[in-house]
Structure 1
Amino acid sequence: MSHSQPRFCPQCGQKTLSQCSAKQFVCTHCQFTYFHNPAAAVMIAITVEDELLIAIRGREPGLGGWDLPGGFVDPDESLEQAAIREIQEELGITIDTLTYQGSFSNTYRYKEVEYKTCDTFFVCSLPSKPTLIAQDDVAEVLWVKKQDIELERFAFLSTQHAIFQWLQQK
C-alpha cells in the first residue's frame, strides 16, 4: 500500500486497512469497510468579453502556476454554493450567475497525500472587470485574452482540459 493511501481504520484506529479495490478498504481488525471516494471541487472561469481571469497559485501544489478560482466543496454545501464562496474568499467579489460546463477528474497531491478529485467547471461572464483582491491561496490575478491562453501554464490537468474544451466551444 502506498503512503498516499489510507492505512488507519476510522472506526478502531488500528493500522489495519487492507485494500480490496481502487477505492475500497476493509479493516482486518474490526471489519469496518471504508470507501476512499473522490473529493468534490469547483473551478470557475470568470470572463469579461474576450478575456479570462487567471489566478496565480500562491501555494503548493502548483505554486506560481496558472489556475482558475475555486477549491474544495465543504460538507453540506452544493457545488454552486462552493463556487460562490470560493470566489468571495479568493477574489473578494460576489457572483450570482454561474453556468455549469462539465467535470474532470484530477489528482491533487498535498503534503505527501494524493487526493483524487472530481473538479466541476463553471463559467461566469461579467459585463465589466470588477475590482479584485487576490487573497486566500491566490498570489495574484491577471486577465488573459483567449487567443493568448497557454494551456500548459495551468497547474492542473483538469483545468487544462476544462479550458481546452471551453475554448473549443467559442
Structure 2
Amino acid sequence: MFNFCPQCRSANISTINGSEYRCPDCGFVYYHNTASAVAGIITCDNAMLVTQRARNPGKGMFDLPGGFVDHGESLEQALSREVEEELGLTLTDWQYFVSLPNTYRYTDVLYHTCDAVFSIELSSRPTLTPEASEILQVHWLERDKIDLTTIAFPSLREAIRRFCRR
C-alpha cells in the first residue's frame, strides 16, 4: 500500500500483516481497517431477488443488492440507500441476519470487508428500475433452486446458503 511514508517520505516504512504501517523515522502509524459493506436478502413468497452484476468484480455473476457504507451512515441506512440507488425501491424495515468477512478487488486494490447481511420479506413483487451501470438484470429465484456457484462473492454465497437452510 505504501512504498514511502506519507508524512516524511522515508522509504523506511514497514507493514505488519498488510494492515498496519509504521515509519520508524517520524513515528507515522496507519491502520488499514476493514471496510463496512451491506447486502440485502429480499424475498417474496419462496423467491429471492438477485441482481446480475454489470461490472467487475464478478461481472455477469449474481449478487445481492447492497454496497459500501458511507461515512456517517448506519448499516441499515446504507442498505436502504443502496437499494434505492440500484433498484429504485424504498425499503426500511431490515432485519439483521449475519455478518461475514470478504475481500473485494477493485482497480487493483484489495479491500477487506465485513459484509453485514440483512433480510426483508415483501408481500408482493415490486416494480423495479435497475441502475444500468450497476445491474444487467434482476431475477427472482426460487430459494431451493439457487446455484451458489453463480453468486459473485464468497461471503454472500455463505449468507444465502445459511438463509436457505433455515
Q: Report TM bin, short chain.
A: over 0.9
- Give the match for residue 121 of structure 1: 117
For residues 1-170 of structure 1, the aligned pairs below 5 Å read: 5-12=1-8, 16-135=12-131, 136-169=133-166
Q: Distance in 1 between matches of 2:85 and 2:57?
A: 18
Residue 146 of structure 2 aligns to which amino acid in structure 1? I
The runs of 5 or more residues in structure 1 that have no matched partner are none
Residue 15 of structure 2 aligns to which amino acid in structure 1? Q
After TM superposition, give the deviation of residue 10 of structure 1 in Å: 4.4
- Paired residue secondary structure (2:78): helix
Residues matched between the structures, number: 165
Q: Distance in 2 between matches of 1:60 and 1:81?
A: 25
TM-score (norm 2): 0.93
After TM superposition, give the deviation of residue 27 of structure 1 in Å: 2.2
The runs of 5 or more residues in structure 2 that have no matched partner are none
Please identify runs of 4+ aligned residues in structure 1 that moved more than 6 A. none
- Paired residue secondary structure (2:113): strand
Residue 154 of structure 1 aligns to which amino acid in structure 2? I
Q: Distance in 2 between matches of 1:6 and 1:103?
A: 29
The answer (yes or no) to whether the contact 2:144–2:164 under 8 Å persists in 1 is no
Q: Distance in 2 between matches of 1:18 and 1:73?
A: 29
After TM superposition, give the deviation of residue 152 of structure 1 in Å: 0.7
Task: Classify 1:80/1:22 alpha carbon distance in 2 versus 1 (closer, same or farther; 3 Å).
Answer: same
Residue 44 of structure 1 aligns to which amino acid in structure 2? G
Two-structure CA RMSD over aligned residues (Å): 1.5
Q: Distance in 2 between matches of 1:164 and 1:37?
A: 27
